[in-house]
Amino acid sequence: MTELNTTRTNSQGAVFETAKIARIRADFPYFKQIDELKSRGEKHSSYLDTAATSQRVARALLAEHDFTVAHTAAVHRGTSFATGEASLRYENARAQIAKFLGSSSLYTLVFTGGATDAINTLSTAISEASLAVSLPAPQLAVAGSDRFVLARDDEILVPVSEHHANLIPWQRLAARTGAKLVTLPVNENGLWRVAELRERLNARTKIVAFAHVSNVTGHTVEVADTVQAVKHASPDAITVLDACQSVPHLPFNASESGADFIVFSGHKMFGPNGVGGLLGKTELLDALPPARTGGSAITLVTPETTEFLPPPYRFEPGTGAVSQAIALAAATEYLQELGMHNIAKTEEFLVSYLLDKLRSVSGLRIIGEQHTNARAALVSLNLDGVHPHDVGQVLDSLGVIVRVGHHCAQPLHRALGITASVRCSVSCATTQDEIDAFVTGLKEAQKYFLER
């Protein structure tokens, strides 16, 4: 086994040594329990499904527990000391998460139920803007919202490789407004390039939505270059970045990306389920109508009309996921302390180790490019003659937890001529032993299904 080391230390980070990863694992109750079982020679699991849901760091669990037990109160409602303290903790969480994302004063963070909810919030708000000009309903409009109005034959561009959450809302928006949904094809490896995107862009392009990192190929897009290409072709077009698979794994700076809107999910970044965010340029959020309505998002209500608060509160009606937001802030503090450059280097090493080990498996198709510097912390693959679901059953019987299926990316799999794949995804808490167990499981699946 090639041991993890810290010899590749530079300004861009260092690979965590084996002892450091052991200490990191002790920060997660789930991994701590697994490692205790392993130390006693008992049956244990190998968790290689971080791209779907990461394990929660103890710090986030404790932060949520502390708020729930000692500080629960209605946020932004009432005048009591308890309400004020709860509200302050909630807003401090917002500020911490925005800081982690490299947000500047140009951006405002809206809490959502996750990235899927964030994209739906945005697409619905744009739909409301278009509805406001087509109906005698002035209360639906917000000053400046006409910039989001989609006319018939305006274009929404989405790569074929997108997660369903970054495709279906745009399909529905196109259907509601008469806009045209344009898809960007992928090559034989499931990838697209900025040069190919430029060929599809034109003055009628109004929205371009794309993932920073593909949840199937692990391919990493140059965000700033992509945004620049979009703005060059259509200056008023908005860019929507799905950062779910990047912000927990790579150094990320929203301001440097230039993206107009950025979405992410807490359950992929060592935090809880049910919380995420829509980070949007403030000037754009100011001009968007609310996607949903209710209490807390308003300034004045009459039986006939309503006036709404400015962002982010305009987009946060009702009671939010307060304890979850506080837990997510604690998770981002933990990620910052580890250092995102260090995390990226460690995961690059682990993916390189995985790809090297996979060379010993015959009849293997790896989806995406083969180099580690062209992919983030995951590898999807297929075994010749063995259905991914059958591979998953064998792996599960061996205690290896991965994702099998289409990974909410049916169009991409269809473009590649496959129905499903096996995805192994790592984090900075992954061990080489876990990767070894995965590779061993692939070979066991081949023996069971192909050598009988």
Q: Which residues are catalytic?
A: 408
Q: What residue has token string 């329990």?
A: 33
Residue listed under structure tokens 């807490």: 266
Give the SS3 label for residue 263: strand
Distance between CA atoms of residues 355 and 348, nearest Å: 11
**Cα distance between residue 91 and residue 449, in whole Å:** 54
**What residues have CB less than 8 Å from 40, skipping those under 6 apart?**
none
DSSP at 136:
T
Q: CA-based angle 416:51:390, to the nearest 5? A: 60
**Structure token pair of residue 327:** 């837990």
- Burial class of residue 214 (count of CB atoms within 10 Å of its CB; 0-12, 13-18, 19+): buried
- Count CB atoms within 10 A of the CB of residue 224: 13
Smallest CA-to-CA distance from 426 within 274, 210, 268 is with: 268
With beta carbons less than 8 A apart as the criterion, state whether 353 and 5 touch.
Answer: no
Per-residue CA distances from 144 to 109, 283, 308, 315 (Å): 20, 9, 14, 16
Closest CA to 267 of 220, 321, 343: 321
